[in-house]
A and B are shown apart, each in its own frame.
Chain A
């Protein structure tokens, strides 16, 4: 607990590129709470593979366009 996972993401950036999509709208689209989207954006939580694919599909990009490995 405490150490953020070594996974980076562009969720906030992609959300803003998609017509300022709200965190609540993204949360609804992928089936999680808004707090979980906030935790993902802040790097406090690494989503499951299923949710990662859902996020990528919402933005119409590949998984590696959303997530990366730190360093």
Chain B
């Protein structure tokens, strides 16, 4: 397994865990408040997620220094481009769904959570597509 595939697995797993925790966090806070939790509830979560991703990538890069230092080759670049393109479609679709929800319900806090969740899902999809393409024909 190449460094970039390992990195994709790591990020997919990290983001899936973070996404599930995010849903749990917002649902719990919303139930306690009796309305959709405001964005301020997840600021700590966002900082933790960003720092967690940086730490995880740094640990992986340090454990595989030679592979991490090498630039992506032509196949890896193609995989990254295709996965990025497909995940862009996922993000666009989820963003439209989020906006549709806002138009119907008019809940700005929920719009924030849906857009943030869309970003997380699109990132998971990007890493998932990368893993798929690394293992299939490109």
- Smallest CB separation, B58 vs chain A (Å): 21
What number of B residues sit within 8 Å (CB to CB) of A?
16
Residues of A close to B32: CB separation below 8 A: none
Asked whether B137 lies within 8 Å of A1 as measured between CB atoms, the reply is yes
- Complex-state Cα separation, A33 to B7, whole angstroms: 15
- Smallest CB separation, B126 vs chain A (Å): 15
Classify the interface of chain B: helix, strand, loop or mixed.
Answer: helix
Asked whether A4 lies within 8 Å of B137 as measured between CB atoms, the reply is yes
Residues of A close to B76: CB separation below 8 A: 33, 36
B binding-site residues for A, Cβ under 8 Å: 1-2, 5, 67, 70, 73-76, 82, 132-134, 136-138
A binding-site residues for B, Cβ under 8 Å: 1-5, 31-36, 39, 43-45, 47-48, 51
